[in-house]
Amino acid sequence: MIKVAIIGAGITGASIARVLSRYENLEVHLIDKNPDVGWGVSKANTALIHGGYDDDPDKYPMRAKLCVRGNRLWHRWVKELEIPHIWNGALVVALEEEDFDELEKLLERGIRNGVPEMRIVDREELFHLEPGLNPEAKGALWIPTVGQIGPIPAVIAIVENAVANGVKIHLNTKVKGIKVQNGEVKGVETNNGFIEADVIINAAGLYADEISRMVGLDYFTIHPRKGEYWIFDDTVPGPRRVLFPTPTPISKGIVVTTEISGHLMIGPNAQDLPPEEKENLATTREGLEEVWEGAKKLWPNLPPRSKVIRTFAGLRPEPTGGDFIIKAEEEVFGFINVAGIRSPGLTSAPAIAYEVAEIIQRDLGIKLIEKEKWNPYRKDITRFSMLSPEEANRLIRENPAYGKIVCRCNLVTEGEILEAIERMKFIGVKIPSIDSIKFRTKATSGTCQGSFCRVRIIQLLSKAYNVPPWEITLKGEGSEIGIGDVKALLRGENSA
């Protein structure tokens, strides 16, 4: 049995784990320092499945190849894993006549990369596709294969399926070193002990350069590129399509979109940070104003700021050279770098996973033997608000917890939260957190941002994990609710 350790349980590491779970001669371990999956780079992004027209195949061959492949694979994966998604297409909008030169280049590049069905549309068709656009728009590049998903729900779904197929997961497990003997990897040193491994896959996101240095490889650096966002109340109408401006050399530009939960979202900008600022998720007044002004160029009727329910920032891992680094390292046998997975990393993740499986066979000489029975399917947590009245009544009769609304904004029931807790335990989440519930059910992510439902979620987590309510965390160790906060929340519940 070949032992494989994957460092990083984001969208890339999770996808690799799922693909490798197909093989009976692999024992796969998925390692992450966070208390839950998908809490690194995957947590905050624009959640787009890109078409593949943007990446120059001469400068960024891995990005160009894997983005288009990943887009095709996602069409299957979202069905198998019941991941929330929509295929609504994208428009790259020309606001000036000179923008059409860039659109022609993007069209030519997309055709070269194998993107189907894309074309340039004139002003009349553009406003048929998206009536609310800036009336000064001249035309656009139309890419119908672009879609949107929930990024953390996607990671959770993939990991649940991987664990169901035999993957062993290690959360709250920080890599402290990698053992190399006679030029071959032997295992991973962690705060929770040693994990033996014949193959180590470095999918550590922003920290992939530091993991690579643990085996003596120091040929690339990861620096964070920050992007900031605004999200509006779901009563605010947004566009039907994903709207891009004509891109710049460092960014696809500030996007205007309606994310899959129905909230208008604008962003990101792009601010390059030094390598040591890999935890800098602070929003800035200047950055948010840049996003606001950029979005207005596409969507001039932005709602008033009183309709904003949240601002946030995400970090993209920008590598030396700009392209994905996906290779078996000759100097250290068994060590595979999967680093610098910046945009379009979410789109590319399934294709990256199959690329890694090919590398294991081709470059490491390990023949992979498929399991006779491998389950590609995973059921989503039932969304009570999406059921018909007949289905809802049947479910309530079977389990009355589904008749108790906990989150008013998103109509999340107690039954869904209890199922989310069971799924958390199934993949090894040992530290109960409100964020873990939010990412599985959308409770606390609506207009009130948890003002109504947080106290009930704390009570349910406290009972399920058999810990006092003040030990429930917001987002893992160091963010415990505390006795004072629990008392305040209970006073708020009693007065509601």
What are the residue ranges of CATH 3.30.9.10 in the chain? 84-147+222-314
Domain 1-83+148-221+320-379 has CATH 3.40.470.10: no
Q: What pLDDT is recorded for position 452?
A: 87
Residue 312 bridge partners (DSSP): 229
Calculate ∠ Cα 321-350-70, nearest 5°. Answer: 70
- Tokens 């998925």 found at: 30
- State how far the Cα of 112 lies from the Cα of 208, in Å rounded to an integer: 31
Measured in whole angstroms, the distance separating CA 102 from the mean position of its chain's CA atoms is: 29
* pLDDT in single tens digits along all 496 residues of the chain: 999 999 999 999 999 999 999 999 999 999 999 999 999 999 999 999 999 999 999 999 999 999 999 999 999 999 999 999 999 999 999 999 999 999 999 999 999 999 999 999 999 999 999 999 999 999 999 999 999 999 999 999 999 999 999 999 999 999 999 999 999 999 999 999 999 999 999 999 999 999 999 999 999 999 999 999 999 998 999 999 999 999 866 667 899 999 998 999 999 999 999 999 999 999 999 999 999 999 999 999 999 999 999 999 999 999 999 999 999 999 999 999 999 999 999 999 999 999 999 999 999 999 999 999 999 999 998 777 778 889 989 999 999 999 999 999 988 999 999 999 999 999 999 999 999 999 999 999 998 998 889 999 999 999 999 999 999 999 999 999 877 666 666 666 544 4
CA angle 474, 479, 483 (to 5 degrees): 90
How far apart, in Å, are the Cα atoms of 338 and each of 159, 180, 221, 253? 18, 18, 13, 26
Dihedrals φ, ψ of 28, to 5°? -105, 130
CATH 3.50.50.60 intervals, the chain: 1-83+148-221+320-379
Pairing of strands 264-267, 255-258: antiparallel
State the Cα–Cα distance between residues 488 and 481, nearest whole angstrom.
11
Q: Distance between CA atoms of 174 and 91, rounded to whole angstroms?
A: 41
Catalytic residues, by residue number, are: 50
Distance from the first to the final alpha carbon of the chain: 57
What pLDDT score does 494 carry?
47
pLDDT value at position 488?
65
Residue type at position 109: R
In the chain, what's the furthest Cα-to-Cα distance?
67
Q: Classify strands 199-202 and 335-339 as parallel, antiparallel or unpaired.
A: parallel
What pLDDT is recorded for position 374? 98
Evaluate whether the domain defined by 84-147+222-314 bears CATH number 3.20.20.190.
no
pLDDT score, position 420: 97
DSSP per-residue letters across 375-416: ----PPPP-GGGS-HHHHHHHHHH-GGGGSEEETTTTEEHHH
Q: What is the pTM of this model?
A: 0.96
Give pLDDT, residue 489: 63
69: nearest Cα among 81, 58, 80, 55 = 55
